[in-house]
């Protein structure tokens, strides 16, 4: 199986989660190919060859990050210095293409292509999340989303990750890779998907966050604020 993980990250936490997920995918599919790349490095041509696409990014103001939302938190001088106003280092390329924009240009999936979505978020009952929106956009591009959107908790809007989240990301990566392999065994041969096929199928994911967060026991709410 060829897996591509595409992530957007502002302060490095989402990148760390993506890398941990890649480790879990490798555990579940040791003979497969796994690529973990930022949205700025993700080639649409390479993604088109993937049998399993995992996409994730930070939560900002109840949903996916955008240039407008980031602009309310990061100033021009922050981009120039490479650090937020609190002194937190920014990831290379912050201010460039967002995952939201990248997904808008993603070609329709080939028949049988699987996908999963994740985000980083605060553990706050009043916040929203990015993963559900990512999953919906993947379905809109005719991917078979084979797992519930997942969120990984940060302690504050600029991080760090909560203790144990990297281990949980590795375990999640292993689980969704196993599910993608199982689902691929029953898929038809790869070819360009058709919307009629998509309508007839019944993805296992609902596009909504889960009912409970494994590490907190709280409802799996996703959050406002910049990322991680």
Q: Please check whether residue 220 lies inside any domain of the structure.
A: no
Count of other CB atoms within 10 angstroms of residue 1: 17
Mean pLDDT of all residues in 131-135 = 96
Count CB atoms within 10 A of the CB of residue 10: 27
Q: Please give the residue that has the higher pLDDT: either 163 or 209.
A: 163
178-191 tens-digit pLDDT: 999 999 887 655 55
Q: What is the pLDDT of residue 206?
A: 36
Per the prediction, the chain carries an average pLDDT of 81
Q: Which pLDDT belongs to residue 93?
A: 76
Is 222 a member of any domain? no
Residue-level pLDDT at 64: 84
Q: Residue 188 has what pLDDT? A: 55
Q: What are phi and psi of 159, to 5 degrees?
A: 90, -175
Confirm whether 116 is domain-assigned.
yes
Find the domain containing 110 and state its range: 2-200
More reliable by pLDDT, 165 or 205: 165
Q: Which two tokens stand for residue 35?
A: 């690529």
- Out of 17-31, 34-48, 214-228, least confident range: 214-228
Query: Is residue 118 in a domain?
Result: yes
More confident residue, 98 or 167: 167
Quickly state the pLDDT bin for 212 (edges 50, 70, 90). Answer: very low
Which two tokens mark 133?
């929106």
Residue 223 resides in a domain: no
For the stretch 36-82, pLDDT in tens is: 999 999 999 889 999 999 999 999 866 787 655 544 456 666 656 66
Q: How much is the CA Rg of the chain, to the nearest whole Å?
A: 17
Number of compact structural domains in the chain: 1
CATH assignment at residue 81: 3.40.50.360
Q: Is 199 helix (H, G, I), strand (E, B) or coil?
A: helix
Band the pLDDT of 221: cuts 50, 70, 90.
very low
How far is C-alpha 95 from the geometric centre of its chain's CA atoms?
18
More confident residue, 2 or 82: 2
Q: Which residue has the higher pLDDT, 181 or 222?
A: 181
- Is 227 part of any domain? no
Query: What percentage of residues in the chain have a pLDDT greater than 70?
Result: 71
Is the pLDDT at 155 greater than 50? The verdict is: yes
Task: Say if 207 falls within a structural domain.
Answer: no
Residue 218 has pLDDT above 50, yes or no: no
Concatenating the DSSP letter of every residue in 75-142 gives -HHHHHHTB-TT-PBPPTTTTS--HHHHHHTPPPPBTT-EEEEEEEEE--TT---SHHHHHHHHHHTT
Q: Is residue 218 part of a domain?
A: no
């Amino acid at each position: 199986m060829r897996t591509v993980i595409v992530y957007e990250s502002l302060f490095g936490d989402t990148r760390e989660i993506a890398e941990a997920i890649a480790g879990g995918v490798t555990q579940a599919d040791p003979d497969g190919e796994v690529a973990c790349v930022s949205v700025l490095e993700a080639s649409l041509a390479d993604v088109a060859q993937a049998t399993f696409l995992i996409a994730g990014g930070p939560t900002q103001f109840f949903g996916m990050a955008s240039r407008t939302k980031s602009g309310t938190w990061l100033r021009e001088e922050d981009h120039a210095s490479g650090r937020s106003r609190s002194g937190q280092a920014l990831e290379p390329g912050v201010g460039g293409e967002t995952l939201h924009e990248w997904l808008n240009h993603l070609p329709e999936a080939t028949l049988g292509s699987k996908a999963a979505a994740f985000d980083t978020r605060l553990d706050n009952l009043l916040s929203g999340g990015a993963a559900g929106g990512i999953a919906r956009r993947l379905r809109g591009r005719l991917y078979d989303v084979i797992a519930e959107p997942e969120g990984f908790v940060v302690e504050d809007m600029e991080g760090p990750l909560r203790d144990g989240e990297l281990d949980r990301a590795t375990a999640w990566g292993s689980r969704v890779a196993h599910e993608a392999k199982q689902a691929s065994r029953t898929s038809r041969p790869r070819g360009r998907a058709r919307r009629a096929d998509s309508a007839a199928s019944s993805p296992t994911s609902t596009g909504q966050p889960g009912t409970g967060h494994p590490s907190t026991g709280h409802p799996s709410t996703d959050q406002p604020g910049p990322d991680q």
